[in-house]
């Protein structure tokens, strides 16, 4: 257990906890065996469960396997600058001959974005995340970058975007990450971003439509549309249309649209059941900030479902995801009333700050039950 904690991978499965005097080891080809230091013997079967196991997946990004002068394998964590003789993948072993399916939940309320991508190598994959200079977008971009992906932070504020890039490079100097200008409140900026991205002549394997505005006072964009509707939905809709050909050529690829459970508390149809376009971009007299946000999130889901229907036959899947009811971020910053409410609720919310950085143990990490990042990596074989 101490060695697992040293590797940053605490084993919380009591069934697999080893009895005293036993140690778990691995062979060079990935098989797990068990050493009893009291009886000085080894065996393939777990001393408690009788199961045989093997290592699953590649080493976490930043880890490397080496051999010492005695021929013994050890592992180097280049990110945290430490070494261990314990394979960091031991927390993710699989049964060689499983007898029954397990019902144990792999991800829970304390799962981080880094843990979701544990053991996956995204080298050669290109990921675009909108609104990636802070909050959920930043954590997503950072996790992809530290697992080898070429990540593009698509942001309106380039000063904050470049600061986010520096923070990621500060954790792993070899990370391939950059920032590009994208203002979803200006359709011309969306078009320029798509043109600049295509000029790079690279693939696009994951597009995360994360950026959003919340609790904005009524205003119109330069395109003549209500701002919340354009930023949260229409800008992303236009972006996906412009990059659709790149996504299809990069298949298998994926679009992830960050929506919200609040989409349930609104309607975009009129009394006769027909779509009421005036509700999507309402006038000032018909505007309510929360309702505008809810409608934009409903549009996200409808768009994602239809996009999946159209592009999945071409190898591009689309998912709309809910990040969690009690996720604390800076999305409330546009109106002091919401800031006050979010501040009062802060002790009961999940934080975007990793556990080691929390000021006290009363604040809990980050991801909602069954972290939404699993949507990006769930299917087997495509990445």
Q: How far apart are alpha carbons 345 and 214 in whole angstroms?
A: 17
Task: Let me know if 293 is a catalytic residue.
Answer: yes
Q: How far apart are alpha carbons 227 and 217 in whole angstroms?
A: 9
**C-alpha distances out from residue 31 to 55, 77, 200, 309, Å:** 6, 21, 42, 42
The pair of three-digit structure tokens given for residue 86, joined into one six-digit string: 């314990």
Handedness of CA 114, 116, 120, 123 (dihedral sign): negative
Candidate list 33, 293, 328, 338, residue with the active-site label:
293
**C-alpha distances out from residue 365 to 141, 210, 272, 288, Å:** 17, 20, 45, 32
Residues in the chain: 383
Helix (H) or strand (E) segment spanning residue 258: strand 253-258
The pair of three-digit structure tokens given for residue 93, joined into one six-digit string: 């072993």
All residues at 6 or more sequence positions from 277 whose CB lies less than 8 Å from its CB, including other chains: none
DSSP string, 7-33: TT-----GGGPPPTTEEEEE-TTSBEE
Q: What positions carry a catalytic annotation?
A: 293
């Amino acid at each position: 257990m101490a060695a697992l904690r040293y590797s940053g991978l605490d084993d919380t499965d009591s069934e697999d906890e080893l009895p005293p005097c036993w140690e778990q080891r691995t062979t060079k080809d990935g098989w797990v065996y068990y050493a009893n230091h009291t009886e000085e013997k080894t065996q393939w079967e777990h001393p408690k469960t009788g199961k045989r196991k093997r290592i699953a997946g590649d080493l976490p990004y930043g880890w490397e396997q080496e051999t010492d002068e005695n021929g013994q394998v050890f592992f180097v964590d280049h990110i945290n600058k430490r070494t261990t003789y314990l394979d960091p993948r031991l927390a993710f072993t699989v049964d060689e001959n499983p007898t029954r399916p397990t019902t144990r939940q792999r991800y829970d309320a304390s799962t981080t974005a880094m843990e979701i991508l544990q053991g996956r190598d995204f080298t050669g994959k290109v990921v675009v995340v909108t609104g990636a200079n802070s909050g959920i977008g930043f954590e997503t971009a950072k996790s992809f970058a530290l697992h080898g992906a070429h990540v593009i932070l698509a942001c309106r504020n380039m000063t904050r975007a470049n600061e986010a890039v520096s923070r990621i490079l500060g954790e792993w100097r070899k990370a391939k990450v950059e920032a590009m200008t994208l203002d979803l409140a200006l359709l011309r900026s969306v078009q320029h971003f798509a043109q600049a991205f295509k000029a790079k002549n690279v693939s696009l394997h994951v597009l995360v439509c994360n950026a959003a505005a919340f609790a904005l006072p009524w205003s119109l964009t330069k395109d003549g549309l209500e701002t919340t509707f354009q930023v949260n939905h229409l800008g992303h809709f236009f972006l996906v249309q412009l990059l659709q050909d790149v996504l299809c050529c990069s298949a298998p690829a994926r679009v992830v649209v960050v929506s919200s459970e609040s989409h349930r508390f609104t309607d975009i149809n009129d009394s006769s059941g027909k779509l009421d376009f005036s509700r999507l971009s309402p006038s000032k007299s018909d505007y309510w900030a929360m309702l505008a946000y809810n409608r934009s999130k409903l549009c996200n889901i409808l768009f994602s479902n239809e996009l999946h229907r159209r592009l999945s036959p071409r190898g591009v899947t689309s998912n709309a995801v809910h990040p969690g009811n009690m996720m604390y971020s800076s999305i409330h910053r546009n109106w002091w009333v919401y800031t006050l409410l979010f501040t009062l609720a802060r002790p009961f919310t999940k934080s975007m700050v990793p556990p080691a950085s929390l000021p006290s143990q009363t604040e809990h990490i980050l991801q909602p039950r069954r972290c939404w990042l699993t949507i990006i990596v769930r299917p087997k074989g495509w990445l």
